Amino acid sequence: MFRVFRVFVIFVLCLSAANVRSAFAQQTHIVVVTGVPGDQEHAQKFDKWAKTFIDAAKTKDAVPDANITYLSDKQATKVNLEKALNDVAARAKSNDSVVLLLIGHGSFDGSTAAFNLMGPDLTAADYARLLGKFTTQHVVFVNTASSSGAFQQPLAAPGRVVITATKTGGERNETEFGQYFVEAFGDAAADRDRNGHVSIAEAFEYAKTKVTQAFQQKGLILTEHAMLEDGGDGKLASAVFLGTGRAESALKVDTSDPAVRALVDERDAIQKEIEGLQLRKTSMDPAQYDAQMEKLLTRLALKTKALRDLQAKKDGKP
């Protein structure tokens, strides 16, 4: 009987997961930087990519304005970027997500990799030092610039996703990866598991595929090979999203009703517990993990059923 109930619970969860947006972290903090453009054409292009990304974070993933920092033009300096990351480190809570997106040009002289800013640049070693402040948060570092592959090894760490537009520092041609990476968060085609929510892993695969297609259509040899280093045993990038998303929208419920709103909040809180537990799986005793997960799955399934039943009653459905 117990096994039958367990299967039923998991079945209900899987059905709801197809429509419900994940809530991986308590909050997401985003820092977007557009570096030295070189000319007006690139300045406009980089600004467009940055704003496309920020707009998706706000409208599709419910990231509040207060959690987003955008540094561009004369504001994109070493001092300002260091301050922005220090400020985030001071207010970010344990298990929050921190996303740093760099859009612009990069350089690599054979030993030192850098992202080009107004004035002195920050090197890969500098970013490793700054990101080292986030010891309990999940960090996503995305460098869409040329030569960005040289950032992979210095920045790789547990609990951190490192994405670069190139495989090595030697791939110095201007990259197209950034355009497609930011585009992914607004394109339903990027949502491979059809859960209404684009993960970092899905955005990476979408962009990588689009770059390959773009080069093929132009009849050119591929000069950039995007890389993803996952510091979560291969699972972190799939569990990280820009924000919490809007679960009530995916569930098609009326949150103007206090009772419905309360159930949505309770359900989202359980979902956060589940995804936090999933990331701790490798460090837990298997039996303890299974027991805790089963309790959470049961609670989530029952809460989802209660929410759907309440909404159906409001809609006058049997």
Interval 147-167: pLDDT, tens = 999 999 999 998 899 999 999
In contact, 212 and 193? CB cutoff 8 Å: no
What is the domain range of residue 42? 28-239
Helix, strand, coil shares, percent, the chain, to 5: 50, 15, 35
Whether residue 89 is predicted with pLDDT greater than 80 in this model: the reply is: yes
Residue 260: the pLDDT is 81
DSSP state of 168: S
- Cα(first)–Cα(last) distance of the chain, in Å? 28
Half-sphere exposure of 21 (CA within 13 A, CB side): 23
Do 269 and 148 fall into the same domain? no
Residue 318: the pLDDT is 56
Domain end, chosen from 195, 218, 239, is at 239
Residue 245: the pLDDT is 54
Confidence label for 274 from pLDDT (cuts 50, 70 and 90):
confident
Residue 17: the pLDDT is 42
Q: Residue 228: left if φ>0, alpha if ψ -120 to 50, beta else—which one?
A: beta
pTM, two decimals, is 0.73
Half-sphere exposure of 32 (CA within 13 A, CB side): 22
In contact, 64 and 26? CB cutoff 8 Å: no
Structure tokens at 241: 């999203």
Structure tokens at 106: 């990069």
Do 86 and 235 fall into the same domain? yes
Residue 249: the pLDDT is 44
Domain end, chosen from 198, 222, 239, is at 239
Distance, CA of 280 to CA of 272 (rounded, Å): 13
**Torsions phi, psi of 60, nearest 5?**
-100, -25
Distance, CA of 278 to CA of 272 (rounded, Å): 10
Do 284 and 266 fall into the same domain? yes
- The pLDDT tens digits for 213-244 are 999 999 999 999 999 999 866 678 988 888 76
Do 61 and 11 fall into the same domain? no
Q: What angle do CA 111, 50, 159 make, to 5 degrees?
A: 55
Split into its structural domains, the chain has a count of 2
Distance, CA of 163 to CA of 228 (rounded, Å): 5
Distances (CA, A) of 39 to 35, 81, 247, 288: 11, 22, 42, 57
Distance, CA of 74 to CA of 115 (rounded, Å): 15
Do 98 and 12 fall into the same domain? no
Do 161 and 283 fall into the same domain? no
Do 104 and 184 fall into the same domain? yes
| DSSP string for residues in 218-278 | HT-------EEEETTTT-HHHH-BSS---HHHHHT--TTSHHHHHHHHHHHHHHHHHHHHH
Provide mean pLDDT across the span 19-27: 46
Distance, CA of 147 to CA of 111 (rounded, Å): 12
Do 184 and 293 fall into the same domain? no
Whether residue 4 is predicted with pLDDT greater than 50 in this model: the reply is: no
Whether residue 128 is predicted with pLDDT greater than 80 in this model: the reply is: yes
Residue 290: the pLDDT is 83
Do 278 and 299 fall into the same domain? yes
Residue 27: the pLDDT is 86
Whether residue 289 is predicted with pLDDT greater than 80 in this model: the reply is: yes
Do 14 and 34 fall into the same domain? no
